[in-house]
Structures are given as structure tokens and as C-alpha cells.
């Protein structure tokens, strides 16, 4: 199966990279853009074919390595 993991900063955590993008967009004359937040996106293939087990495995990966759960949230989508 393929897993798509989206990792985003929790609300309230400062995101200077997002602020930089917001500034760059506004200097390129894109008006009305706000609240830009940058996160990570990770795609991976896993051998596990059972959806529940696959989700448990990817959750463990997020908790242990992919996301810093103190400041980041993760969202897993299996396809």
C-alpha cells in the first residue's frame, strides 16, 4: 500500500518559513493571501496489505521519526 503523510505545525507554533512565503507572495502582487503555513509531505510504500495494520505501522513511524509530536501534527492517508 501507499501511505501519504502530511505533517503540519500545531496551531500557535511560529512558522517563519510560512511568513517568508507570505511576504514573497505579497511582493509578487498576490493580494488577499494570509495565514500561510508550511509543512512536510511524505509518500511511502509499505509491504503490509491490511489497512488497519498499515495505519498502525505508519502511525508508529510518525510518532518515532517522521513528526516531532511536541510541535507537529500528522495526518495519514492510505491509498
Among 11, 12, 16, 35, binds a copy of itself (CB under 8 A): 35
Among 11, 14, 22, 69, binds a copy of itself (CB under 8 A): 22
Q: Is 14 in the site for a copy of itself (CB under 8 A)?
A: no
Q: Is 59 in the site for a copy of itself (CB under 8 A)?
A: no
Q: Is 5 helix (H, G, I), strand (E, B) or coil?
A: strand
Among 19, 30, 51, 71, binds a copy of itself (CB under 8 A): 30
Instruction: From residue 13, give the alpha-carbon distance in Å to each of 39, 41, 51, 64, 74.
Output: 12, 18, 32, 20, 14
How many CA atoms within 13 Å lie on the side-chain side of 47? 0
Amino acid at each position: 500500500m501507499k501511505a501519504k503523510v502530511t505533517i503540519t505545525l500545531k496551531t500557535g507554533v511560529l512558522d517563519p518559513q510560512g511568513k517568508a512565503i507570505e511576504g514573497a507572495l505579497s511582493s509578487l502582487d498576490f493580494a488577499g493571501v494570509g495565514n500561510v503555513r508550511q509543512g512536510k509531505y511524505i509518500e511511502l510504500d509499505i509491504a503490509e496489505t491490511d489497512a488497519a495494520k498499515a495505519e498502525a505501522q505508519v502511525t508508529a513511524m510518525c510518532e518515532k521519526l517522521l513528526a516531532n509530536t511536541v510541535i507537529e501534527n500528522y495526518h495519514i492517508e492510505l491509498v
